[in-house]
């Protein structure tokens, strides 16, 4: 696997100085000192267990009980167009059609 090049170029000394000046001018958001950083503890140690669990639970779509297998298949253009013409969910309908055909093959 190839490494990606950084999409953000490194800061110049002038840019770094400008950022540091901005940090120094913001009294509501001071930079953390090394001492403060050393005193920090992991969130799991300081948050109530229920809150920590809610904040770290897996987000997104839940894992399906039955997972699908990605495949590449070449189909006739008219077949694909016919399913696409039925609107959203056409790939699911292709899968259902193939599933019914597979059941018939098993029983034959």
Predicted pLDDT of residue 60: 85
**C-alpha to C-alpha distances, 22 to 8, 13, 58, nearest whole angstrom:** 20, 14, 36
Contacts of 69 (CB under 8 A, 6+ apart): none
Backbone angles phi, psi at 47, to 5 degrees: -90, 150
Q: What is the mean pLDDT of the chain?
A: 91
Predicted pLDDT of residue 49: 96
Query: pLDDT at residue 6 above 70?
Result: no
Flag whether the pTM goes above 0.85.
no
Tell me the pLDDT tens digit for each residue of 39-92. Answer: 999 999 999 999 999 999 888 888 888 888 999 999 999 999 999 999 999 999
């Amino acid at each position: 696997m190839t490494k990606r090049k950084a999409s953000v170029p490194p800061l110049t000394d002038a840019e770094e100085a400008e950022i540091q000046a901005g940090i120094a001018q913001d009294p509501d958001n001071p930079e953390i000192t090394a001492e403060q950083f050393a005193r920090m503890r992991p969130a799991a140690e300081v948050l109530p267990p229920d809150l920590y669990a809610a904040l770290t639970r897996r987000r997104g779509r839940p894992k399906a009980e039955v997972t699908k297998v990605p495949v590449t298949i070449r189909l006739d253009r008219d077949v694909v167009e016919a399913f696409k013409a039925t609107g959203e969910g056409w790939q699911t309908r292709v899968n259902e059609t193939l599933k019914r055909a597979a059941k018939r093959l098993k029983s034959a």
